[in-house]
Amino acid sequence: MESIFTALFKYRPLLFREGELVFGTPWPIAAVLGVTALVAISAVATYGSRQGKATAGQRTTLATLRLAALGVLAFVLLQPTLVLTSTVPQQNFIGVLLDDSRSMRLPGESTETRGDFLLETFGPEGSPLLSELQDRFSVRTFRFSGETSRVADASELLYDGTRTDLAGALDRARQELSSVPLSGLVVLTDGADNGGRALAESLVPLQAASIPVYPVGLGDEALTPDVQIGRVELPRSVLRGASLVVDVVVNHRGYQGETVEVVVEDGNRRIAQEPIELGPNGEPTITPVRVTLEEPGPRRLRFSIPRLEGEAVVQNNRRDLLVEVRERREKILYFEGEPRHEVKFIRRAIEADENLQVVVLQRTAPGKFLRLNVDDGDELASGFPRTREELFQYRALVIGSVEAAFFTADQLSMIADFASRRGGGVLFLGGRTAFAEGGYRGTVIEDALPVLLEEPARDPRSAFTQLAVEPTNAGLSHPISQILPSEPSAEADAADATGPEMPETLDDAWASLPPLSTMNRIVSAKPGATTLLTGSSDEGEDRIVLAHHRYGRGRVIAFPVQDSWIWQMHSEIAVDDPRHELLWQQLLRWLADGAPDPVHVEPDREQVEPGESIRLRATVLDSAYLEVNAAEVVAEVTDPTGSVRTEPLSWTVDDDGIYEAVIPVSANGRHAVEVVARQGELELGRGVAFFQAGPSDEEFFDAGRRTALLERLAEDTGGRFYTVDDVDQLPEDLRFTGGGVTLTEERDLWDMPVFFLLIVGLIGAEWGVRRLWGMV
């Protein structure tokens, strides 16, 4: 289209956008317009005086054609001229920024690799494009990836950068050329910007200095065929033995309908694999992968897909993630308001789990309590905790069939704060004095629950019903509902020989469980809550059996059944059936998972390049989980060689209880961070975190050309975006749109071919119409 425009209007559209239209006629414009008007009046009068067989409409048409031809001729006689501002030859500089990252090794549009185009265009042998630029500008060439530096030409590029800091490259080039008249910056890149800096910040000084940027996009917008692991949802820390359901997002082009295998490895050991059928091109496919982590300590997991035939990029077939597998006992308080079987069977379900400690407080009579599994004689000696410090020492809380009237108003607020402020998990079980039947409507607990409380039944006996439980779609992929053992035990195999067979699929594992009973009618979840289990009542009503939601820093779960022990003791359940045990182990593990310690630390990213810095961010709370601003916080960073360095963290002032430090990283490998917080002589707590230092493969993910980013970069700075197909227009565009030392020049428009064509066309059309209507 642009070539057609240029053929008709003599110049490219850019010149018309940048220029100003003036008239260069030596005669007064009013005189030219006046003569034109007289001729037009004469022409109209000529047709108006001719009556004959011509109708009024025909005469109007002919007069219009003649007036249009006269108008075009008058415009030509005014000698239209385009006034342009252009750069003065050899008086201005341009910066040429060449991408030196590893993504330049990927296929290009017109060359084997993207780097080949850089070498052909800006190499030592030169090119027509470079010659045109050098004829008009002083060219300064830079290479950039994670760092930016000057080079003589593209032959010095190595294409080994593991990051692309586009924002930093623009800043460096602008600063280095700030003392010379700068017409613009030309950036040849695929648009990757993973340096960690906001690109918008680097544009502000360019806009203030009126320095346009001219991006040249390299590579295709989408590499085909290709498959990549787009995202992996993995927590930073888990308990040893945790059974995780990890969502792996797979993107692809060119492999629709094919089945690939997602493989998970811990070091040299394969720990999981899951087949996945790829969907339509360009659409992400999400597959849940079940992973069990048994070895404690920091573990580096690799999620990968074996190389497929014809793949354009193979480096994006894998992602490495760091997870800390913690060897600790999660202390959970279970408060039950009456003697019932749930206490016994929950304790039995988790007794083999060395990472769970369930402390039981069971009311046996008014004012009398049974304490089980306490650490010492003073723990819970006065019953349910009366202070936040006492309650917040636990990482999770289970409330059984206890009426709301048992608690003081402050204790009810403490239970809600346990989730919202402390960040712990709270599980509410069903029973005859639980939920609405326990008087929790209108209390702070009702606000914390993930479900809506209905009006309690007037007759408790009518509230009783049995529920056939089944998982929802969300429940099937949730860690809590994975009640099939990953590897059948020898005892289970022996039991299979004499008892009921263990189901083979998760759907069958749930469908074959007997129904449970409930006294609490729960039918609706709150907005934002997730329902994992549902049940159909005797009357056919759908009930919620298990639902959860985030509440402040923590999570709250509703499990309104009263006899989950049936899943262990029913006559149809084998003695060694592990489903009840697995449910409660995973439920309590997930309940306590993520509950923060008073002091915890997180690096701002999981992986860092050697030579870069990483930001440590620590949260410091007291025993009541209130923010502490006057603490002394110190981090000990241990590098892979065992060398330890100490770094103080400073309070950020903007956020209560938040301390930060930026530390340089030099060694490849895994780094351990331990943060200690003290207030005077009192140690508030310790937090541990890990991060990895080493080359990144981010350059190969989403490795297509980022056209939208490059177009926005050009638009925001007053430049223009190019591809390798139209980059030959760059020298002329720089001449008329660049800054620096400029002069004014004029371009004649009166001799544009479009004017000749219009005049000839209008006169020819008038003659043709007259001939058609028999007027010649």
Q: CATH number for the domain including 180?
A: 3.40.50.410
> What element of type H or E holds 748?
strand 742-748
**Domain range enclosing 353:** 330-592
Give the whole-number percent of the chain exceeding pLDDT 70.
97
Average pLDDT over residues 635-649: 95
Q: pLDDT of 700-710, one tens digit each?
A: 999 999 999 99
Q: How far is CA 119 from the centre of its chain?
A: 34
Give Cβ neighbours of residue 629 (< 8 Å, ≥ 6 apart). 651, 656, 657
Q: Is 699 a member of any domain? A: no
**CA–CA gap between residue 147 and residue 364 (Å, rounded):** 69
- Model pLDDT, residue 500: 65
- Continuous segment of H or E residues that includes residue 619: strand 613-620
The owner of tokens 């223009």 is 720
Least confident among 153-157, 440-444, 601-605, 606-610: 606-610
Shared domain check, 320 and 334 = no
225 prior amide bond cis, ω within 30: yes
605 shares a domain with 564: no
Whether 266 and 305 map to the same domain: the answer is yes
Determine the 3-state secondary structure of 149 from DSSP.
Answer: strand
602-623 mean pLDDT: 92
How far is the C-alpha of 301 from the C-alpha of 690, rounded, in Å?
A: 14
Which is more confidently placed, 49 or 214?
A: 214
Same domain, yes or no: 314 and 375: no
Q: Are residues 279 and 336 in the same domain?
A: no
Kindly tell me the burial class for residue 434, based on how many C-beta atoms sit within 10 Å of its own C-beta (0-12, 13-18, 19 or more): buried
Q: 190 near 99, Cβ under 8 Å?
A: yes
Pairwise pLDDT comparison (669 vs 739), residue with the higher score: 669
Residues 505 and 623 grouped into a single domain: no
Q: What is the pLDDT of residue 492?
A: 47
Confidence of residue 514 (pLDDT cuts 50, 70, 90): very high
Mean pLDDT, range 322-329, rounded to an integer: 92
152 and 173 assigned to the same domain? yes
In a domain? residue 698: no
Last-in-domain residue among 535, 569, 592: 592
Tell me: pLDDT of 491 over 50: no
Q: Does a structural domain hold residue 304? A: yes
96 vs 131: CA distance, rounded Å: 13
Residues 373 and 460 in one domain: yes
At residue 148, the pLDDT reads 95
Alpha carbon distance, N-terminus to C-terminus of the chain: 39
**Helix or strand or coil: residue 512?**
coil
* Cβ neighbours of residue 447 closer than 8 Å, sequence gap 6 or more: 416
The C-alpha atoms of residue 672 and residue 635 are separated, in whole angstroms, by 10
259-303: per-residue pLDDT in tens? 999 999 998 899 999 999 999 998 999 999 999 999 999 999 999
For residues 256 and 741, the answer to whether their CB atoms sit within 8 Å is no
The answer to whether residue 260 sits within a structural domain is yes
Here the CATH number for the domain that contains residue 448 is: 3.40.50.880
More reliable by pLDDT, 50 or 257: 257
**Co-location of 318 and 188 in the same domain:** no
Query: 650: domain CATH number?
Result: 2.60.40.1930
Residues 582 and 620 in one domain: no
Can you give the pLDDT at residue 56?
A: 77
Name the token pair of 755.
């004017």
**Residue 499 confidence class, pLDDT cut points 50, 70, 90:** low
Tokens of 361: 């407080």
**Domain assignment present for 481:** yes
> Is 753 buried (19+), middle (13-18) or exposed (0-12) by CB count in 10 A?
exposed
627: DSSP letter: B
Mean pLDDT of the chain: 91
β 318-326/237-239 pair status: parallel
The count of domains in the chain is 5
Label residue 554 exposed, middle or buried (CB < 10 Å: 0-12, 13-18, 19+): buried
Residues 440/414, Cβ–Cβ less than 8 Å: no
In a domain, 345, yes or no: yes
pLDDT band (50, 70, 90) for residue 490: very low
Query: Do residue 377 and residue 337 come from a single domain?
Result: yes
Tokens of 26: 């030596």
Domain presence at residue 128: yes
Q: For residue 560, what are the CA distances in angstroms to 434, 438, 566?
A: 8, 12, 15
Is 616 inside any structural domain?
Answer: yes
| Of residues 133, 58, 54, the one with CA closest to residue 92 | 133
- 412 and 499 together in one domain: yes
Task: Give residue 52's pLDDT band: very low, low, confident or very high (50, 70, 90).
Answer: low
Q: In this structure, what are the phi and psi dihedrals at residue 698, rounded to the nearest 5 degrees?
A: -60, -25
CATH of the domain at 274: 2.60.40.150
pLDDT at 746 > cutoff 50: yes
| pTM score, whole prediction | 0.80
Whether 551 has a pLDDT exceeding 90, the answer reads: yes
61-75 exposure pattern, b = at least 16 Cβ within 10 A, e = fewer: bbbebbbbbbebbbb
Q: CA–CA separation, 202 vs 47, rounded Å?
A: 66
pLDDT of residue 460: 75
Half-sphere exposure of 99 (CA within 13 A, CB side): 33
